[in-house]
Structure 1
């Protein structure tokens, strides 16, 4: 799902990308933990989308 969020962001579908990254982040934090490298990478991707959206 993180890859889907990245692709959506790449084609300018920022709202969909934000939603996808948030869902993925919630799942990864629950399953892998908040400090896991994949969870942190997902946080970074979400931050990039939010930055592009001016949030």
Structure 2
């Protein structure tokens, strides 16, 4: 992932997809903290680069919400709009 980030840059849409996929892998493996950290990073970058209403931003918000739900942090949803 680090090589891809160097080549594409940390805000490139393909890089954000790679990060989101890695976060999903972490979540599926029960590595909740790593998944949450990565999903938050993706969401914040999407909001900044693409805007808050872009479909990819909304998907990243959903991914964070689903991560929290899977982790048992269902009440955290209000933090999505940080």
TM-score normalised by length of structure 2:
0.64
CA distance in 1, matches of 2:44, 2:37: 11
2:36 to 18, 39, 49: 18
Root-mean-square deviation (CA, aligned residues, Å) is 0.7
1:36 to 42, 51, 54: 54
Q: Encode CA deviations 1:10-34: one digit per residue, 9 max, x unaligned.
A: 1111111000000111001000001
TM-score normalised by length of structure 1:
0.92
Consecutive unaligned residues of structure 1, counting only runs of 5 or more, are: none
Secondary structure of 2:36 counterpart: helix
